[in-house]
Amino acid sequence: MTVASVTWVPWTAPELAQRREVWDTLSDLYLDTDTRPDLPRMARVLAESGLSEAELNTIWRQEVTPALVHNLSVPTGEWAYFPLEWLEGRIVRRQRYVQQHQVQRLMRWPSLTRWLSRAWPNELEPYFQTVLTLRGELLSLPEPERPARANLWQWIASAYFWPETPVFMPLPPDTEHPEDVFAQLESHLRPLLNAEDARKMPLEQRRAHVLKLIRGDA
């Protein structure tokens, strides 16, 4: 991936700095790999960004999605990461195009890419909405408690979505009532399970697996 010259930026320097980490974080949803265990980390980044939910929705739909939907149209898409400099250049160039040609959300893309931009965001939307929901729950906590809660969520999500993979990270220390936290978090994670997950491990067995890890029985 190469970076083309960008001469016009639609945001001030502080606004751009505020957006960069959000772009970087939300871009992970478009990687050709399973990033569900990382949703709590994404929620923490969004909570710490200082951006409103409306601004985050705009970033997701009008900045990140148009820039990265192409990764879903290739047989083997990028699975590791999108270089932030490259991503920033791509987003800024599109915003410049929109500004100059006075188009709103849709550009005149080839039909396949346009179709993908409509179809695939619908598939990814539950992930983004889960990130937003977890962000809201983090913001409802006292600020000093948020990092520990996000770390616990990520530990639980890893065990929940990848039950066949050993959880090398220990349960975060000084964790109070992790079973209660899991019960609350599981209601957000369950809708993201798919048919392949069910084939690998039924829901009740999956829950029992996580509880055993929490209790140290596994």
> Of 140, 159, 192, which closes a domain?
140
Q: Say yes or no: 155 and 48 in one domain.
A: no
CA 218 – CA 26 distance, rounded (Å) = 33
Q: What is the mean pLDDT of residues 138-148?
A: 95
Computed on alpha carbons and rounded to an integer, the radius of gyration of the chain in Å comes to: 19
Percent of the chain past pLDDT 70, that is, above it, reads 80
Amino acid in position 34? D
Which residues are within 8 A (CB) of 5 and not within 5 positions of it... i.e. 6 or more apart?
Answer: none
- The interaxial angle of helices 84-101 and 13-27, nearest 10 deg, is 120
Q: What is the rounded CA–CA span in Å between residue 23 and residue 19?
A: 6
pTM given for the model = 0.84
**Whether 29 and 86 share a structural domain:** yes
pLDDT in tens, 31-90: 888 999 999 999 999 999 999 999 999 999 989 998 888 776 676 666 678 899 999 988
* Integer Cα distance of 87 and 188 in angstroms: 29
Q: Indicate if 148 and 207 belong to the same structural domain.
A: yes
Q: Which domain holds residue 208?
A: 143-218
Sequence letter at residue 184 = Q
Q: How would residue 2 be classed by pLDDT, with cut points 50, 70 and 90?
A: very low
Query: Considering its fold, how many domains does the chain have in total?
Result: 2
User: Per-residue pLDDT tens for 82-139?
Assistant: 899 999 988 988 887 776 665 444 545 555 555 555 555 568 899 999 999 999 999 9
